[in-house]
Structure 1
Amino acid sequence: MAITFGTIGTGWITDSWIDAAHKTGQWRLAAVFSRKQEQAQEFGSKHKCDNCYHLLDKFFADSGMQAVYIASPNSLHYEQAKQALIAKKHVILEKPATSTPEELDDLFRIAKEEGVFVIEAFRHIQEANYKLLQKLVNDEKRLGPIYGASFTYASYSSRYTNVLNGETPNIFSLDFSGGSLVDVGVYPVTFAIALFGEPKSQIYVPFICKTGVDGGGLIILRYEGFGVQINNSKGYTSAAPCEVYGEKGTITVNGTTDISSVKHMDPKTKKTEELGGPYKTVEKPNVNMEEEAAEFARILNEKDNKAAEELEKVSRIVIKVTSDLRRQNGILYPTDKQQ
């Protein structure tokens, strides 16, 4: 039977999740929440859902809901996810899962105590072509010893125009745990960590917006024998591909999300071979989330603790790294100061 789920958040990303989840045939929308009842009903009507709430207590008390997808402003994730877990609901939590490592530790602890799962929704590392890349980085014939890598996610945001005009959108607000690093930089950081594991050290050279958060910048992750350069930004755009450099070849992919091309270049012959499989495009503004929805449903249905623990490990390393990068540059959220 399909997993019944509720949603918190009424933006385009939630539309994408609902659409993708339903396409798998393994999920069924059972309830929606918004702080305003009118907005909840409007969103619910769009997705043919009658159970609409504006009070969290009543939302989490809905016995017809087994799981919750949370895509609210970053600073609200922890408290909402905590309440969901205590109500014994599985939680699919949009990235960044929490504002700090301490909050994430607490959520994983509660999930284990309540016998439910909490999974961070890193959609890109569930893509088939990303999983192909994971195999290729360990391919002695095609790559050999790894010498370095370069990953990019830098795309000008219309909301940065608001910042330049003196406004403070949620995603550029310290109070809402915003900034480029946690919004788009988290994609290439996770991309690297799911490929290579935890770095030995990391450094970030960002430019700081008028609002006090980072608008983008360059990151270096240091591993044993090689480094990974990451370019992230919501204040400028880069068209640079993502690459992994090895002694025996270079692997190039078109981006850190929605990977449609995985190419291998032989340094001796200069020949390039396309290795990527077919990629299913999704009509904008929706994004490709079907592969993650299918995998998360499998984990919940099969109670696959091993797979969940692997994802938990990635999430723990990512929040540890990104929090350190923020704190290096004095980008402190209210939660950082409290802790």
Structure 2
Amino acid sequence: MPVTYGTIGSGWITDSWISAASKSKKWELVAVYSRDQEKGNEFGNKHGCSTVFSSLDQFAANKNMQAVYIASPNSLHYEQAKQMLLAHKHVILEKPATSTTAELNDLFKIAKQNRVLMIEAYRHIQEANFKLLEKVVNQEKRLGPIYGASFQYASYSSRYNNVLNGETPNIFSLDFGGGSLVDIGVYPVTFAVALFGAPKSQTYVPYICRTGVDGGGVIVLQYDNFGVQINHAKAYTSSAPCEVYGEHGTLTMNATTDISTIKHLNSQTKETEELAGSYKTAEKPFVNMEEEATEFARIVEEDDIAAAGKLEEVSKIVLNITQDLRRQNGILYPADKDEKESTGETIARVIQPV
């Protein structure tokens, strides 16, 4: 039987999830929540769902719903996920799951106490070609000792035009927990963490835009014997590939998401071999989320605590990195300020936006 679920959030990413979940045949949409009943009805009709709530309490109390997919503005994730977990619903929470590590740890604790699962929706590390890459990175014969890596995700956002015009879209707002790092920078950061684990330290040189959040920048993750450079942005575009450098060879990928090619260059022979398997593309205008939908349904259906635990560990490491990088550069959200007030600690130096 498919996992019955409801949605919070009615943007394009929710459309993509519903499409992917339907294609996987592992999920059944049974409820929609929207603060605006009329907009909720419109969204529900669009996806063939007639059960629409404008009350979050009534939505959470729906007994026909096993899980909830949450893709609301970042700053709302914590409270909404907490309410769903306390109502004994599994939660698939779009990245970034929360603004702070304290919030994230609390959600995982509540999930365990209520015997439900919470999964942060990092779709790209569920791709078949990423899982193939994980295996190849650990093959001594192909790479040997790893000396470094370079990962990219820099794509100019149409909403940055709004910033340039004096507006503040949610994704570029401090109040809504926005910025390039938490929106798309987390993709290459998660990519690195899933491949190499937690770094020893991290540094960040961001471009701070008018609204006070980062429009992009360069990150360095320091591991025991190598570094990983990450270039991400919503204020500019990069067409550079992604690479992992080893003594025996170099792996080159087209991107950190939607991996369609993994090329191995032999350092000695200079021969190149394509390793990637077939790539499942999503029909426009949706993004590829079918592999994550299938895997998350399996984890829920089988109550696979081990798999959920591995994803939890990745989420915790990634948020620890991004929180530290933000605070290093004075990019503070309301949740950071609440934490500062409750602990009395100074958590960051403030850098004025340019």
SS class of match (2:21):
helix
Cα distance in structure 1, aligned partners of 2:173 and 2:59 = 27
Q: Distance in 2 between matches of 1:279 and 1:238?
A: 22
Deviation, structure 1 residue 285? 2.2
Q: 2 CA distance for matches of 1:261 and 1:54?
A: 44
Q: TM-score by structure 2 length?
A: 0.95
In 2, Cα distance between the equivalents of 1:333 and 1:281?
35
The structure 1 segments of at least 4 consecutive aligned residues displaced by more than 6 Å after TM superposition are none
The number of residue pairs the alignment matches comes to 339
Measured against aligned partners, the alpha-carbon deviations of 1:87-146 in whole angstroms (never above 9, x if no partner) come to 000000000000100000000000000000000000000000000110011101100000
- Hey, what does 1:218 align to over in structure 2? 218
Please, what TM-score do these two structures have when normalized by structure 1? Answer: 0.99
Paired with 1:30 and 1:267, the residues of 2 have a C-alpha distance of 54
Structure 1 residue aligned with 2:31? 31
Query: Identity across aligned pairs (percent)?
Result: 72
Aligned partner of 1:247 in structure 2 is 247
Matched letter for residue 212 of structure 1: G
Partners of 2:259 and 2:83 in 1: how far apart?
A: 35
**1:314 pairs with 2:324:** no
Task: Kindly provide the amino acid, as one letter, of the partner of residue 50 in structure 2.
Answer: D
Distance 1:137 1:145 in 2: 10
Query: Is 1:207–2:207 an aligned residue pair?
Result: yes
Corresponding residue number in structure 2 for 1:3:
3
Give, in whole Å, the separation in 2 of the partners of 1:55 and 1:29.
18
Amino acid across the alignment from 2:329: N
Query: In the alignment, what sits opposite 1:141?
Result: 141
Counterparts of 2:175 and 2:203, CA distance in 1: 24
How many angstroms apart in 1 are the aligned matches of 2:284 and 2:71?
18
Q: Secondary structure at the match of 1:210?
A: coil
For residues 262 and 5 of structure 2, the distance between their equivalents in structure 1, rounded to whole angstroms, comes to: 34
Task: Provide the residue aligned with 2:93 in structure 1.
Answer: 93
Q: Offset at 1:47?
A: 0.5
Distance in 2, Cα, partners of 1:240 & 1:262: 14
Residue 258 of structure 2 corresponds to which residue in structure 1? 258
Quote the Cα distance in structure 2 between the aligned partners of 1:206 and 1:285. 30
Q: How does 1:127-138 map to 2 (within 5 A)?
A: 127-138=127-138
User: Deviation at 1:284?
Assistant: 2.5
Cα distance in 2 for partners of 1:221, 1:175 equals 27
Q: Which runs of 5+ in 1 are unaligned?
A: none
Q: Partner of 1:178 in structure 2?
A: 178
Which residue of 1 is the match for residue 168 of structure 2? 168
Residue 57 in 1 paired to residue 57 in 2? Answer: yes
Task: Determine the C-alpha separation between the residues in 2 that align with 1:5 and 1:170.
Answer: 26
User: What is the distance in 2 between the residues matched to 1:133 and 1:186?
Assistant: 18
Residues 255-302 of structure 1, C-alpha deviations (whole Å, 9 max, x = no match): 000001111011222111100000011122211101101110110110
Measure the CA separation in 1 of the matches of 2:34 and 2:184: 25
SS at match of 1:167: coil
- CA displacement, residues 152-203 of structure 1 (integer Å, 9 cap, x when unaligned): 0000000001001100000000000000000000000000000000000000
Counterpart CA distance in 2 for 1:123 and 1:138 is 22
The one-letter amino acid paired with 1:82 is: K
The runs of 5 or more residues in structure 2 that have no matched partner are 340-354
Counterpart CA distance in 1 for 2:302 and 2:4 is 15
- Name the structure 1 match of 2:323: 323
Matches of 2:76 and 2:293, distance apart in 1: 22
